[in-house]
Amino acid sequence: MFAALRAGAGEEWARYIRHPFVLAMGDGSLKREGFRNFLIQDYLFLVQYARAYTLLAYKLDDPADMRAALATANVLLETEMPLHVGYCAGWGITEAQMRKAGASLEMLAYTRYVLELGHAGDALDLMVALAPCIAGYAEIGAMLAPQIALGNPYKAWVETYTGTEYTDSVAQSLAMLERLGAARGAEARLPSLQAIFTQATVLEAAFWQTGWG
């Protein structure tokens, strides 16, 4: 199902995966201040992303899937956010600074879209909206990792999304997407699901502008 949605997004997926921000990380030319801005907005995004997974748990019926969604929310809050805070400290950014920072329009547009869709639709709608972020970062990591030089300041960031812990979480999420699709009539709903996926992809690409524009 994910492969079909990715293909259906066409050029929008390419604009997301190969955004100038991403390519500049890969060759090390990205301006450090731009990356710092992105890190701050990404912290704010993670807070909302965790909320989306708790909402997903509420929308699910199967206890195993509910536990998986809550486990993801817990990992985001207890593991990924502390790791992000520690990483940001290396860039001279404190958690207090990030919490006080104003949310960018791109961050607000993206997270509000996902959360409002999650409230209005069902678990499959929400999972489809989350999928570009889940799988896209793994694809970006796999694309950049072989070419990134030892002295590249963004090497550690890229390696986060090629590690086993992250790739395992992607596999679990996409497996849940497949189960939900089979249970909730994805084939008959494909046009509406494709519209959700493509819109979320467009918003993902726009989010890079927090560190580029």
Can you give the residue ranges of every domain in the chain?
Answer: 2-211
3-state secondary structure of 151: coil
**Under 8 Å between Cβ of 80 and 43:** no
Task: Give the Cα separation of 1 and 61 in Å (integer).
Answer: 20
pLDDT the model gives residue 183 = 93
| Spans in the chain with pLDDT lower than 70 | none
Spatial distance between the Cα atoms of 40 and 88, rounded to a whole number of angstroms: 8
CB-based contacts of 59: which residues, under 8 Å, 6+ apart?
118, 122, 123, 126
Over residues 12-62, the pLDDT tens digits come to: 999 999 999 999 999 999 999 999 999 999 999 999 999 999 999 999 999
CA distance 178 to 164: 21
pLDDT at 139: 97
The residue type of 50 is A
In this prediction, residue 72 carries a pLDDT of 87
Contacts of residue 178, Cβ cutoff 8 Å, sequence gap at least 6: 1, 2
8 Å CB contact between 19 and 211 = no
pTM more than 0.75: yes
CATH class for the domain made up of 2-211: mainly alpha
Record the tokens describing residue 183, joined without a space. Answer: 């249970």
- How far, in Å, CA of 66 to CA of 64, rounded? 5
